[in-house]
Structures are given as structure tokens and as C-alpha cells.
Amino acid sequence: MLYNNFLLLKLKKKFTKHLPPIKGFVKILNQKTGILETDQKYIYYISCIYLKYIMEGDYILANIKNDDNGKLRVIPIKLLESNINVFEGIIKKKNDIIYIIPEKKILYKNIIKCNIKKNIKNIIKNGDKVIAKIIQHPLKRGNDMFIAEITELLNEDNKYLIPWWTILLKYNLSINSPSNNLCKEIKLLDNNIYRKDLTKLCFITIDNKDTKDIDDALYIEQISEDRLLIYVAIADPTAYIKKDNEIDQIASKRMFTNYLPGLTIPLLPKILSENFCSLNPNKKRPVLICKMIIHKNGVLSKKIIFFTGWIKSNAKLNYHDVSNWLEKIGNWKPDNDKIKQQIIFLYKFYLYRKKWNNQNIVYFNNTNYKFIFGDKGHIIDVIIEKKRIAHKIIETAMITANICASEILYKKLGFGIYNIYYGFNINKINKIMELLNEYNIKYDKLFLMTLKGYKKIYNKLYKLNASFILNRIKKYQLITLFNIKPGPHFSLGLKRYATWTSPIRKFGDMINHRLIKSVINKKYNIEKPFNDIFINMNKKRYLHKKAKNDLSNFLYLQYFKNISIRSKIFISEIIDIFYYGIKIRLIKNGAYAFVPKKFLCNNIDNISINQEKGVIFNKNKLFFKITDKIKVIIKEVSISGIIAKII
């Protein structure tokens, strides 16, 4: 009776006019019914005329209104977050228009119009299973319909990659390499540039066994008892890729080759990165070369020469074999005396340069883990990936060559793509001072913000073996960023640092190649890179890291589902402490887990947690601190993460 009262209805309408918009999640029940569930678990019906503008799981902003019957309903007005960006579906062609029917019901009619990429347009047919990405949402840009883009044709050979693609597309990252069709005609663009022929020199490459995009080769001569002459030859994709052409534009959007566990997405078309540009053995290749001299005391000579040339790699070696040979392990040996001599010279170069490195570079003791895959993405194991002597040799050579490039760019042009790292966050310096004072380590605040001060404090903490303090101050540091202006790199101990040694894998290195070539050819009127270049580089690197972390979390969940963990004890390290528990890393396989407060000990009433200082007390006695090693068992493995209990 009250419901139909005219005055009551009028009063309800008056109040709903002044109600603020609400937020909630969409649920599609059928073709005529949808509901909005708010964060407070209130439920409102969505007017059926608006169902075509929303999707299952959308988090939206909506207005509340009364319909003609006096019932409260909502009108969607803005998309806040979409729960479904990537989905599986089946192709349906109708009147030359292609649609996709999602495998799971996500729309009220559950059919979406499609765009198709050129590389699969001619092979797509009715009934094909595909992966698609939503590229147009009605609530996002005021469009009146959903549109999806088909990104991949599914078959038995690639279906296992769906989790990889889903994560990549979540961050708007490419899921496959640029098409080889972009390279219709591959030819040298700079035939008018002089290239020195060094094909008779015994250049060698050292990479992983399965590396196909080989971008660096080395040759060394001993010019005296205490000096080595080093040629660092780097693949030259800019010899084939014209600035601002289609390949160049695609690379400028991708920015990096994306290295993920179990999947690599190249920066360039494979016909370039793995063939014409790759420094494959016994193939004549155009290169950009840095010629430098290293003294026995580790000092780099001021006389540095860059030039373009031709080389022919004499051997494709790998880190494993070279490390074994230098460490006198196993049966592998170089094919001939020339290659043997080059390995010996490389090792000598490393020992020379190590003296400089030890005085200038701040090394972080990070343990790397590697997923070992079987067929079709099946995880066999997770192992610790140790950096062996051959890795260190090549890393040292590339860092040294990059130092040379940064100086040439700085002195001749004053700009380039630089890696900038300023060490400690100035807004956190007081916390660092408090931490150091607790352990009676006294330094001036302003001194710690300098390159010299940064090196000094780290050298002191390493000598003291103060792993707890080292872990804590990492929280108060900045991240490395790209910039077109030169700036210091504190952890490398340098006033400036720019890379050019991975142009097949980094677009910024391609830019620096072009800049260095302009210096070689004395063309100093080259345009300065736009600011949006380094901004996009920083953004893309961040997204790559996010995607890699998401994928690693997914893979760890799959790994623990496949192995027996019942009552198994894992040695772990405490890496962070919160009021509600601790974050740990399992030392054997690198998986992150969380130990809730209730699983810290039998009587949690005695527990006192100091999150700021990274310590836990039990009855006023130190119980745990960050960096402690503890034993745990796994209690739960779910999509939300791994829960562990201390034993």
C-alpha cells in the first residue's frame, strides 16, 4: 500500500535526485538483466537499455534514478576499470563483417565486432578459435559499441601461451615479433659511409647457448706487457633501418626486446635481429666499433676511437663452455689456438679492469632464478642462475665500451640516451641517517647525497658485512631512469653513462648508434631526441617489469601445483616486515610467500612488530629481523599468492 502511495513516490524521487554517483561491479545475468554490486555489497538493477554499454566485471561509476515504477536503478556513466581486456572466442563471419563470440558470457548479447591484424586476416575463417583484446569500450571514450582486435589464432601448438599473452596485453605490450613482411627489401642504407674491413681479425662472440640475436663481438691484442688493445664490435641495425620508417616507428613504440620466462618478444623483425644484423659465425656483418686501451692497473686510456667497419666472427661461444674451460672443468676446449688466445686475453682484460671496478662500482648481491621449461610451457624446475666468469667478462667489456660512448656523446654533442641514477632519495635521507646512527655509523647528510658519499657508505657496509642495514637502505633509493641529458650513475661510480651495446634489443641504443655515427662522419647538426623518447622508455621498462612479475607469480603457482609440498620444509629469507605479517623468499626456488602474523609463533599475544625498523620482538626480546633465515612450510597456494607458516 505504501509502495503505491503517490506522495511517497514523489518524496523518493526528490531524494534520489540529490544522491551522489556510486561505484560498483557489473554482473550480467541475462539479455535483459544486469546488476551493479557496490563495495558495500548493496545491489542495484541496471536499466536494460544500458546493458549494451557494459561488460561482465566492469568497475563503473553510475548515477542512481527512479524508474516509472518507483524502483531504484542505475545508469552507467564512466568506466573506472575493466576486469576483462583479453578473452578467448570463436570467429563468426556475417555479410563480410567479422564477429567474435566470447567463450565465456561477458556481454548481454555476447557477440563483438572485430578488427583483424594484417598477418592473420587472410587465414581467419568461421569457427576458428582466437585470442582477442578489447580496443573500444563504450564507457571509455563515448563510443556506442564494443570492438575487439584479434591478436592471435589459437591452435594446439600455441594455446599454452594464453597466460603470457593475457598478461602482456593487460599492460598493452606486444605479444609477438614485428612481421618479417616489413622487410620487403633489405639493403645497406649507408653505402657512402666508409667501413674498415676487419674480417681477418679473430673476433669471437660469447652468449647463451640458445641466443640468436648476437649483438656484440670482441677482439683483443696485447700491445705491451701492461696494456691491452680491445675492439668491441656491435651489430649495426641502423645500417638497414632508416630513421622514422615503419620498422623504426614500431621499435620506438616497443622500446625493448621483452625477455620473459619461457617467451621472448623481439624489438625488431627476426629476419633482422637473428639474421642480417646478428653477428653469426663466419658471416660478414656491418658493425659499429669502439677501439680502446686498458692498462694493467685497470685504467681506461683517454684515447678512444669509434668507427664503422666489417667483421666476420670466428666462433660462437657460450658462457657455460668458456667458464668451464677457464675454471678447468669438463672436456670442452677452443677449436684452435687463435680462439684460445682470444679467451685468454679476454680473461686478462677482465682481471685488469676488475681493479677499477672494485674501487668504483657498487655491486648488489641479487640472486637470479630461472624457470626450466619442458614442452608447451610445462615447468620442470626453478634453479638459481649464477653469474659465472664468462658472464662477468662480457659484462665488464660492455660496461667499459658504454663508458666510452657516454664520453664521446657528452664531449661532441652534449646529449644522447643516458642512464641516470642518483642513489638515495633526498626525501628519505633522514631515515637513512637515523638507521646509520643506530649502528654508530656517522656520515654527513649532504656527503651521502654525492657520488663519492654513495660509494663510501656502501664500501663500508660491505666490509662490515652489514646485510641488515644494506637491505634497509635499499628501500630509500631512487630507480634508474633514462634521460637525454647527461647525469651521474651512482652505482657504477660514473659522472655519466650511456649504452649503445644492445641496439638489436634496445631502441635507445639504436638512437645512440645514430648519434655516434654522426660524430664519426662529423655531422654535428643532428637533431636532439624528443623528450617523449626517454619518457616512453621509462614507461615501457616499468611495464615490462610489471608483466614479468605477474608472469613469475603465475608460473610459481603452477610450479607449486605440480610438486609435492606437503610437510616439505623450505629455507627462506625475510625480505620485509609488516604489521600484519612478513614477506619471505624461498631460497631454493626464489618464490615469494607471505607469513601472516598468526603463523609467526604459537602465542601471537607476545609478538610486537616494528615495521619501520624491520624487526619483530617476542616478550621484548628480538625474535626476527629482515635478512634472517627461517624454516617454513607452505599452507596455501592460490591465485592471491603463497601463504607459509614458520616452524
Q: What angle do CA 437, 443, 446 make, to 5 degrees?
A: 120
**Which member of 215, 236, 509, 628 is catalytic?**
215
**Which member of 128, 216, 509, 628 is catalytic?**
216
Q: What is the pLDDT of residue 15?
A: 45
- What CATH number was assigned to the domain covering residues 564-646? 2.40.50.140
Q: What is the pLDDT of residue 412?
A: 93
Closest CA to 133 of 166, 96, 97, 92: 166
Q: What is the pLDDT of residue 159?
A: 87
* Three-state SS letters, 393-456: HHHHHHHHHHHHHHHHHHHHCCCCCEEEECCECHHHHHHHHHHHHHCCCCCCHHHHCCHHHHHH
Residue 476 falls in the annotated catalytic set? no
**Which member of 319, 369, 454, 556 is catalytic?**
319
What are the phi and psi torsion angles at 547 (to 5°)? -65, -40
d(CA 57, CA 72): 21
Say what angle helices 246-254 and 507-520 make with each other, to 10 degrees.
130
**Which member of 58, 207, 236, 628 is catalytic?**
207
Residue 285 falls in the annotated catalytic set? no
Q: What is the pLDDT of residue 2?
A: 40
Distance in Å from the first CA to the final CA of the chain: 64
Q: What is the pLDDT of residue 8?
A: 47
**Which member of 505, 541, 592, 628 is catalytic?**
505
**Which member of 58, 213, 509, 628 is catalytic?**
213
Q: What is the pLDDT of residue 193?
A: 84
Q: What is the pLDDT of residue 355?
A: 93
Q: What is the pLDDT of residue 404?
A: 97
Per-residue pLDDT reduced to its tens digit, 166-224? 899 888 898 889 988 888 778 888 777 899 999 999 999 999 999 999 999 999 999 99
Q: Which amino acid is at 182?
A: L
Query: What pTM, to 2 d.p., does this model score?
Result: 0.84
Q: What is the pLDDT of residue 69?
A: 67
Establish whether domains 6-81 and 564-646 are of one fold: yes
Q: Does domain 86-154 have CATH number 2.40.50.640?
A: yes
Contact 256, 544 (CB under 8 A): yes
**What are 229's three cell numbers?**
688493445
Residues pairing with 481 in the sheet: 420
Q: What is the pLDDT of residue 500?
A: 97
Residue 550 falls in the annotated catalytic set? no
Name the percent of the chain lying above pLDDT 70. Answer: 96
Which residues, given as ranges, of the chain have pLDDT below 50?
A: 1-4, 6-9, 11, 15-16
Residue 215 falls in the annotated catalytic set? yes
Q: What is the pLDDT of residue 88?
A: 87
Q: Does domain 6-81 have CATH number 3.40.50.1010?
A: no
Instruction: Match 615501457 to its residue by C-alpha cell.
Output: 540
Q: What is the pLDDT of residue 552?
A: 95
Q: Domain segments of the chain: what residues?
A: 6-81, 86-154, 181-420+486-552, 426-478, 564-646
